[in-house]
Amino acid sequence: MAQTITLYVDGACRGNPGLGGWGAYVITESEEHKLYGGVPETTNNRMELTAAIEGIKFCPTDAKLIIWTDSNYVKQGITEWIHGWKKKNWKDVKNPDLWKLLDATCQGREIEWNWIRGHSGHPGNEMADQLANLGADQTLTNMKNSSSKAEKPLAEVVVLDKKKVEKDWLLDDPFGFDLMESDVQDDTEALENLAQEMIQSEDMNDEAEVQDEIVEDVAPALLNVEHPHIVITPRTKQVHGPRQLILDTETTGFYFQDTDRIIEVGALEMVNRKLTGSSIHIYINPKKPVGDSENIHGISDAFLQDKPVYAEIADVLFEYLKGAEIIAHNATFDMNFLNMEFKRAGFVALSEVCEVTDTLAMAKSKHPGQKNSLDALVRRYEIPQRDRTFHGALLDAEILADVYLAMTGGQVSFDMDTLSESEQQEAQTARLSVQIELPVILPSEQELQAHETWVKQFEEKHGTACLFAK
């Protein structure tokens, strides 16, 4: 029986174009292999493709390969878009040399392609990222020792101790972690279908090829984003109506007036109480230490070092947010920081072009005297738990979307929206056909007296009127 091999592949580029590296972390049944290399002048997409090519070429042709990449560009390109590219004879396709090589390398092999969220802490993906950066570092060293600038990948293979490798939790998931990411996978499948339709369309322009991790949104506005650190996903549902954006930020501290800065922004789009699949996610270099706030969000100074400053991403972020209703938990905090950052970048305050809804204020009104943190609301509304060891803007936005729908009575209608018109009619008919006379049970005099006594004792103890008084 042929062996199964797991590969994690990743690319890195310092500048786009610029110095690049690729890495492939190969896990067989008995060994681990680390492959890496680099190119003096290249792009991030080319390094992502090279990582996949080199990783596959390293493996026996009769092995089943399970490949994980954090690049939508690679995963969707090789599984879906490549068919349309071949029909067009590779017209207007970027990086055709590497796509053709990847296609040829995959021929005759059994390969399962998977997407994984980058920089999410998974050890396989993190190792591939480290190898890609190691490849870039080695290339830089070689450049200093040589005058050659040829785009020739420099590969090195390291074989670790031969031992039985433990199963990867991403493949064998006894705790059900992958269920938490099922919505991401569903959106990815819909995104693939959307991209295939775009490729087959006669109206595609020269920029139709989607950049790695940066996908043009088809509605409500076309954002042709080239920045490697701005991640915008397109809608996967065709909806019409006012936009709501479930938003969260992470910052270096609590005081926007006292030089604290935003380091992460995440927002999910909702229209007519439906998440459309569109989102924006950006990490930002605050140009100051994150300090003790790292204990909250887990984002380090080293991680933010190569990220853009706010002024570099302000135009794209403002374009995505403006005109929408911003929904945030403790919205005053987020809006104060966003207003401050946009003004510094030469824009008007975001609150001047957006309506704002504060779910914390809503929760306090709905549940007076109770804890109304996001975690408390998750427990109160029995929303599926997610790992919040560290806060993250996009993760908190996803949680807040569930909380907002539950708080505003949206869960039932949200579920109904997933039914077809005929299914809704059948459900309505079924409800009408069941006519049950529910008994009305009135309290006895003894129960009424006991209730009145309890209310009086409550008012005497707390000095305030009881909510349950008649």
8 Å CB contact between 363 and 406: no
CATH number of the domain where residue 369 is located: 3.30.420.10
Q: 235 lies in a domain? A: yes
- Domain final residue pick, 150, 178, 206: 178
Same domain, 243 and 346: yes
Same domain, 77 and 130: yes
Positions of the chain with pLDDT under 70:
1, 147-227, 385-391, 410-437, 468-470
- Domain final residue pick, 178, 204, 226: 178
Residue 211: its pLDDT value, please? Answer: 38
Same domain, 331 and 228: yes
Q: Which helix or strand (DSSP H or E) is residue 33 part of?
A: strand 32-42
8 Å CB contact between 266 and 397: yes
Residue 147: its pLDDT value, please? Answer: 55
**Using CA atoms, how far apart are residues 4 and 314, in angstroms rounded to an integer?**
45
**Using CA atoms, how far apart are residues 235 and 123, in angstroms rounded to an integer?**
30
How far is CA 388 from each of CA 135, 374, 383, rounded to the nearest angstrom?
33, 11, 13
Same domain, 218 and 358: yes
- Tell me the residue range of the domain where 377 lies: 214-417
- Domain final residue pick, 159, 178, 197: 178
Same domain, 117 and 162: yes
Q: 183 lies in a domain? A: no
Same domain, 27 and 161: yes
**Half-sphere exposure (CA, 13 Å, Cβ side) for 42?**
29
Residue 227: its pLDDT value, please? Answer: 67
Alpha helix (H) ranges present in 41-109? 44-58, 72-76, 82-87, 96-106
Residues 6+ apart with CB under 8 A from 359: 327, 328, 329, 331, 400, 403, 404, 407
**Using CA atoms, how far apart are residues 320 and 315, in angstroms rounded to an integer?**
9
Q: Of 271, 265, 304, 303, which is closest to residue 286 (Cα–Cα)?
A: 304
Same domain, 332 and 398: yes
Q: State pTM to two decimals.
A: 0.44
Q: Of 211, 264, 258, 208, which is closest to residue 392 (Cα–Cα)?
A: 264
Count: domains in the chain: 2
Same domain, 17 and 154: yes
How far is CA 363 from each of CA 116, 224, 266, 275, rounded to the nearest angstrom?
34, 38, 22, 21
Q: 435 lies in a domain? A: no
Residue at 197: amino acid letter: E
**Per the omega criterion (within 30 degrees of 0), is the bond before 17 cis?**
yes
- Show which residues are catalytic: 391
**Using CA atoms, how far apart are residues 257 and 340, in angstroms rounded to an integer?**
8
Same domain, 165 and 241: no
Q: 187 lies in a domain? A: no
Dihedral pair phi/psi, residue 97, rounded to 5°:
-60, -45
Residue 323: its pLDDT value, please? Answer: 93
Q: 133 lies in a domain? A: yes
Residues 6+ apart with CB under 8 A from 179: none
List the Cα angle 396/117/63 in 5-degree steps. 155
Q: 297 lies in a domain? A: yes
**Using CA atoms, how far apart are residues 64 and 87, in angstroms rounded to an integer?**
28
8 Å CB contact between 347 and 395: no
Same domain, 165 and 255: no
Q: What are 348's two structure tokens?
A: 């008007």
Q: 465 lies in a domain? A: no
List the Cα angle 24/30/32 in 5-degree steps. 25
Name beta bridge partners: 232: 280
Q: 369 lies in a domain? A: yes
**Using CA atoms, how far apart are residues 109 and 426, in angstroms rounded to an integer?**
47
Q: What are 237's two structure tokens?
A: 């549902």
Same domain, 54 and 133: yes
Residue 468: its pLDDT value, please? Answer: 64
8 Å CB contact between 20 and 43: yes
**How many residues are listed for the chain in this entry?**
470
Cα Rg of the chain (Å, integer): 27
Same domain, 158 and 230: no
8 Å CB contact between 54 and 155: yes
In the numeric block, the tokens 């490697």 are attached to 228
Q: What are 212's two structure tokens?
A: 């790695």
